[in-house]
Amino acid sequence: MTSTPSGRDSRQAKIAAAAPPDPGRNRLVFGVLLALVIVGSIVAAITLGSRTSPTATSAATGTSVVPPGASGMGEGVNITTGTLKAGAPTLDIYEDFQCPICKEVHAILGTTTNELAASGDAKVVYHVLSFLDDNFKNSFSKPVANAAMCAAPAGKFREFHDAAFEGQTKEGQDVPAAALDGFAAKAGITGSALDAWKTCRTANTYATYIASVQDAASRAGVTGTPTYRLNGTEIKWTATPTPDALKQAVAAATKK
C-alpha cells in the first residue's frame, strides 16, 4: 500500500496547486520586472532624445559652410560695416525670425543698431535662432534663417534680415516660399546673385551653421528671444526698449 515516488510527487504537485499563491512573492517578482521595463524605457527615451539635438541632426546631413560675417560654427553674423572705434562694445542680438516680439523690438531699435554698426560705435552681431520651429513643430525659423544666410555672400544679409522682420508672416504657420522670394527682392538681390541665393535656399546650405548657432546660444544661457547683450551682459529694459536707452547702454559700455 506504499505509494510510488511518482505518486507522491503528483500528490505534492496537487497540494501546491491548491495552495493560494504567495501574494508577497508575486508582488516582488512583478515589481522587479516592471522596474526593468521602466529603466529600459528611460534609457530609450534619452537615446532617442539625444538624436533630436540640433548638433546631432545636422551633423548627420549638413555641410560645414559658415556664412560670410560669421567667424565660425556657432558664431553670429557681424554686420558692422564701419571701422570699429576704440573701446567700442560688442552688441550681441539673439532673435528668431518667427518671433513677433523680435519683430516689434527690431522695428523700434533696428535703425539704431544699423547706425551703430555703420558708425563703428558698436560691434553688432546677429545670432539667428530657430528654436521656435521646434516649439511649434513647423517650418519657419529655420528656412528664413537659411535664406538670410544665403543673402550674406551677396553682401545683403542685413538687408534680408530687416526685410524678413518687416514682412514677417504668421507665427505658428509654415513660412510661404513666396515670402522668402519677396524678402530677397526687397533686399535688392538680383541677377546672378539671385540665382545663387535660390540654389542656396533650396539646398539648405546653412542648416548645420544655423543649428550650431542655436546650440551655442542655448549653452550661453539664452532661453528666449529677443535677447540683447552688451559685452556679454543682458540689457534689462526697464520698460519698452527705446533707441535712446540702447544708445545710452552702448555709451556706458564703451571703454574710455
Partner 1 sequence: VTGPLGNRPWQEWVTLVARLILGGALLLAGALKVTSPLVSARAVQAYQILPFDLAAYVGYALPIVEIILGLLIVLGLYTRITAALGALLMVVFIAGIASAWARGLSLDCGCFGGGGQIGAADTQYPQEIARDLLFAACGAWAFARPHSALSLDHRLFGRS
Residues that bind partner 1 (CB under 8 A): 23-24, 26-27, 30-31, 34, 38, 41-42, 44-46, 48-50, 52-54, 101, 131, 134-135, 137, 218-219, 221, 223-224
Between 53 and 231, CB nearer to partner 1: 53
Give the sign of the dihedral formed by CA 141, CA 142, CA 147, CA 150: positive
Amino acid at 53: S
Question: Please, which residue, 100 or 176, has the CB nearer to partner 1?
Answer: 100
83 or 238: CB nearest partner 1: 238
Using CA atoms, how far residue 82 sits from 16, 90, 116, 123, 172, in Å, is 91, 13, 9, 9, 37
Which one, 14 or 27, has the nearer CB to partner 1?
27
Q: Could you tell me the smallest distance in angstroms from the CB atom of residue 136 to partner 1?
A: 10
Q: Give the separation between CA 238 and CA 244, rounded to whole angstroms.
A: 12
- Least distance (Å) between residue 23 CB and partner 1: 5
Shortest separation between residue 232's beta carbon and partner 1, angstroms:
15
> Would you say 26 or 199 has its CB closer to partner 1?
26
**Residue 220 to residues 63, 72, 74, Cα–Cα distance (Å):** 24, 16, 11
Q: Which is nearer to partner 1, 97 or 157 (CB)?
A: 97
Instruction: Answer yes or no: are the C-beta atoms of 113 and 245 closer than 8 Å.
Output: no
Task: Pull the grid cell for residue 251.
Answer: 555709451
What does the alpha-carbon distance between residue 131 and residue 214 come to, in Å, rounded to a whole number? 7
Helix, strand, coil % (nearest 5) of the chain? 55, 10, 35
- Segment (H or E) for 77: strand 77-78
Tell which residue, 120, 137, 134, 132, has the closest CA to residue 254. 120
β pairing state of 233-234 and 123-129: unpaired
CB-based burial label for 95 (10 Å; 0-12, 13-18, 19+): buried
Smallest distance from partner 1 to CB 179, Å:
25
Nearer to partner 1, 13 or 42 (CB): 42
Please, what is the minimum distance in Å from the beta carbon of residue 27 to partner 1? 5
Least distance in angstroms from the C-beta of 120 to partner 1: 31
CB of 160 to partner 1, least distance (A): 26
